[in-house]
Amino acid sequence: MERAGPCARRGGRWPRRFDLHADPRGGPEARGLPRGEGESGRGPCESRRNAREGPVRAQREARGGPRGARPLAPAEPLRPESAPRQGRAREVRGRGTEGALPEGARGDRTMKAVVLAGGEGTRLKPLTYRRPKPLMPVAGRPCIDYVLRALESSGYNEIIITTAYLSDALIKSIGDGLDYNASILYSFEEHPAGTAGAVRRVGNFIDETFVVAMGDILADVDFKALYEFHKRKGGLATIALTEVDDPTQYGIVGVDANGRIGKFREKPPKEEAFSRLANAGIYVLEPDVLDFIPPDQKFDFAKDLFPKLLAKGLPLFAQKLDGIWMDIGRPHDLWKASMEVVRREGKPFHRSGVTSEGLVILDSTAILQDGITLRGPCYVGPGALLLSGSVMDNACLYESTRLERDALVRNSIVLEGSVIGPNAEILDSVVSTNCIIEAGARIASSIIRDDMTIRAGSRLEEATVSRPPE
């Protein structure tokens, strides 16, 4: 088992990570100027009960938020069992009839969830060269924060986060700045095993009904309602659904009047799309499903596991989500999600000398000079500075950004530390961290990678300004 050494930080050490699958049991480029360098065969369940193997925990202290993770302490093995889960999994063929949620089914017991956060965010590159997709900001908060807080508010008090790409950055962010009333455990994958395979690898820590959610999708939803639906139906798995405009881009699901799933189709042609209800990447599962995930191959829930269970006649159900669900897979999606959050959480802003309309989320440390214009929805982050004559229109300005005189940012995102020069225009674009957009430059429908300078008077449209990743 490989573990990474600690990194020094204020108030403690960063969480260490463990290589879970060390277990031998199976476990147009535009010109820009860079600045600086800048069936499972698993056997009895006891074989995956070694408490010394698996994630590390970021445990809250008595007061305040996380103070860095400590290794997961050895614990008594969970409930001993005399037969493989696979045997019990076959018994669930008899499930599927509705029943009342047993009294005290939740109570004060541990509620567990697995959040998958290992993806590279390929469609967001170059924005994700240094920042993993789950940490991409949505109206001032990392994307993963929305799902973690939704889980917390629904009573999930033990959360396992699986991570691979830029895992140190992810663990550092969650362990250092966010306050969750839950135990956080981390699982590191050197070789990603697919969505279902990643969950199987943390099976040691799952012995009851649990939730799986994606950490790189904006999901502020009612997990409690989904859990209770699952318990009433008595199925092996419940899949959360969301209505989409274009079903050809998603895996769609067909359900009967009772909510039982009858068919799946992954990204169908338009003429074959039988539904606009898409798999939202949120599941409530019984532990038995883990025994249908092979240990030695990449295996996904939507493409592999659920069709396999359906073919075996096992009871799968689905329910439409209550809450916000939005994909942030592309830069424009990231902007749309941010605007939706501001519409829900922002407030009208009124101040003498400032022209403002619509809803705004404004950090108390932001500095707004007289003569600026805000057309909401807008997000203005900590320490952002807007000089006289500048205009924000359906946009996000993050920490320590600077909007110089008469600059315009419309339908765009400007990330931390970047400066938009006098009379410059940013339209339908994303400017990453620590960039300088010089006076009079016009950037439209483009992506500017971090640490780039765009020369005064430049004109860029549908461009990606970047350099190879380090």
Domain boundaries along the sequence of the chain: 10-27+39-75+91-327, 346-465
Active site residues: 267
The band of 74, judged by pLDDT with boundaries at 50, 70 and 90, is very low
CATH topology of domain 346-465: UDP N-Acetylglucosamine Acyltransferase; domain 1 (2.160.10)
The band of 278, judged by pLDDT with boundaries at 50, 70 and 90, is confident
pLDDT tens readout for residues 337-351: 999 999 999 999 999
pLDDT tens readout for residues 419-431: 999 999 999 999 9
| The model scores a pTM over 0.85 | no
Q: Quick one: average pLDDT of 383-402?
A: 98
Residue 104: name the closest of 228, 278, 273 by CA: 228
pLDDT tens readout for residues 237-255: 999 998 888 878 788 888 8
Superfamily of domain 10-27+39-75+91-327: Spore Coat Polysaccharide Biosynthesis Protein SpsA; Chain A (3.90.550.10)
Q: Residues of the chain with pLDDT > 90: what percent?
A: 51
